[in-house]
Amino acid sequence: MSRLLNATLVVWFALTSVAVAQPPPSLTPLNDLSVMAREPFQIFDNLYFVGIGEVGSYVIETSEGLILIDTLWDNEGYTDYLLGNIRKVGLDPMDIEYVLILQGHRDHFAGAPALQKVIDAQFGTAEEDRKLMVESFGEYAPRIDFIIEHGDTLTLGDTTINLEITPGHTPGTTSLQFPVYDNGVEYQAYFHGGPSVRSDDPAVARQFIADIERIKKIPNLQVHIGIHFDTYLSGTGDLFDRAALLAERQPGDPHPWVRPEEFQAFLDDRIQRVREQFGDVL
Ligand SMILES: [Zn+2]
């Protein structure tokens, strides 16, 4: 091979790697830690919020270690922030056995590569969203150790999570159903990984609505875990309003997250929003 061709190849590879490299993180009010940092808090015996003001990240505690849900942004300071929040609630990040990434959008997965340098855990996501991460981050996309499929279960110690693929927000949006405990009393929680449609395709919208209708009929869902702070109906408070209620809760008071009727209303609202978004084509 001639020297000239070698040089050309080097340039071509350089350009190619630039084209697929991780785009530099931009700072916006939504991911600026000086604006978005929040004190983490315990919601249930086995569930903790460790996210930021706008987007959630949660830890499920089991008898055999921790499961982290979503990994926040990749801006400077996020790895230390997330690990610090997990320590603040009294948990050890080194006990994380699994990390579930519910969406291939940057605010949910981009913190993963840096996290992977620190913790020894298995990272999972849906195939469609694994592809989405590679499309946007190329070789800097997180390592994915296992692919989540609809109907899978993940068991760690005493805890089993039911995993569902609920497309619409992304092609492989993952949602979870799992038990939470309030002073030992068990409730079933549902955590929708992307309760809005980011597509112009009516077929995607129809699938999304059909999924929500299906979720509405799952028996005994009493708790909704929100992926963003504001995924509640107006008038019922957002994540941090609920956290304030929880902090002031007196013995005998209901748990502010145990509101099955609000979850149903939330799901109805999600359907309504998609119908408004798509109009007559549905
Ligand atoms: Zn998203």
The CATH number of residue 82's host domain is 3.60.15.10
Residue 15 lies in a domain: no
In angstroms, rounded to a whole number, what is the distance separating the alpha carbons of residues 22 and 206?
33
Residue 8 lies in a domain: no
User: What's the CA-to-centroid distance between 71 and ligand 1, angstroms?
Assistant: 13
Range of the structural domain that residue 274 is part of: 24-281
Burial class (CB within 10 angstroms; exposed 0-12, middle 13-18, buried 19+) of 167: buried
Average pLDDT, the chain: 91
In angstroms, rounded to a whole number, what is the distance separating the alpha carbons of residues 241 and 212?
25
pLDDT at 235 over 70: no
User: What's the CA-to-centroid distance between 55 and ligand 1, angstroms?
Assistant: 10
pLDDT at 22 over 70: no
Instruction: Specify the higher pLDDT residue, 26 or 106.
Output: 106
Residue 54 lies in a domain: yes
pLDDT for 234 equals 57
User: What's the CA-to-centroid distance between 277 and ligand 1, angstroms?
Assistant: 17
pLDDT tier for residue 253 given thresholds of 50, 70 and 90:
very high
User: What's the CA-to-centroid distance between 188 and ligand 1, angstroms?
Assistant: 24
Nearest in space to 103 (alpha carbons), one of 192, 180, 2: 192
Residue 270 lies in a domain: yes
User: What's the CA-to-centroid distance between 84 and ligand 1, angstroms?
Assistant: 24
Phi and psi at 144, nearest 5°, equal: -115, 120
User: What's the CA-to-centroid distance between 3 and ligand 1, angstroms?
Assistant: 46
In angstroms, rounded to a whole number, what is the distance separating the alpha carbons of residues 28 and 30?
5
Number of domains the chain is built from = 1
8 A C-beta contact, residue 176 and residue 152: no
Tens of pLDDT along 205-219?
999 999 999 999 999
| Mean pLDDT score, 125-138 | 96
